[in-house]
Amino acid sequence: MLMVSNAYFAHKGQPDTIRGISFSAQKGEIISLVGASGCGKSTLLRIIAGLLPSNIQHSAGQCAFVFQDAALMPWATVNKNVALPLRLASKKNPDAIDKALLAVGMNSYSNRYPSELSGGQRMRVSIARALVSKPSLLLLDEPFAALDELLRFQMNELILQLRTELQFSCVFVTHSIYEACYLADRVLVMKEGKIFAEVEPNLDRNLLPLEQRSLPQFAKSVTEVSAALAEGAHT
Ligand SMILES: Nc1ncnc2c1ncn2[C@@H]1O[C@H](COP(=O)(O)OP(=O)(O)OP(=O)(O)O)[C@@H](O)[C@H]1O
Q: For residue range 146-164, what is the model confidence (pLDDT) as tens digits? A: 888 888 898 899 899 999 9
Q: Which atom of ligand 1 is nearest to the CA of 173?
A: 22
Q: Is 11 in the pocket of ligand 1 (CB under 6 A)?
A: yes
State the pLDDT at residue 70: 78
Tell how far the Cα of 55 is from the centroid of ligand 1, in angstroms.
19
Q: What is the pLDDT of residue 233?
A: 75
Whether residue 90 has its Cβ less than 6 Å from ligand 1: no
> 86: which DSSP letter?
H
Question: Does the pLDDT value for residue 61 go beyond 80?
Answer: no
Indicate if ipTM > 0.90.
Answer: yes
Residue, of 62 and 175, whose pLDDT is higher:
175
Å from CA of 43 to ligand 1 middle? 6
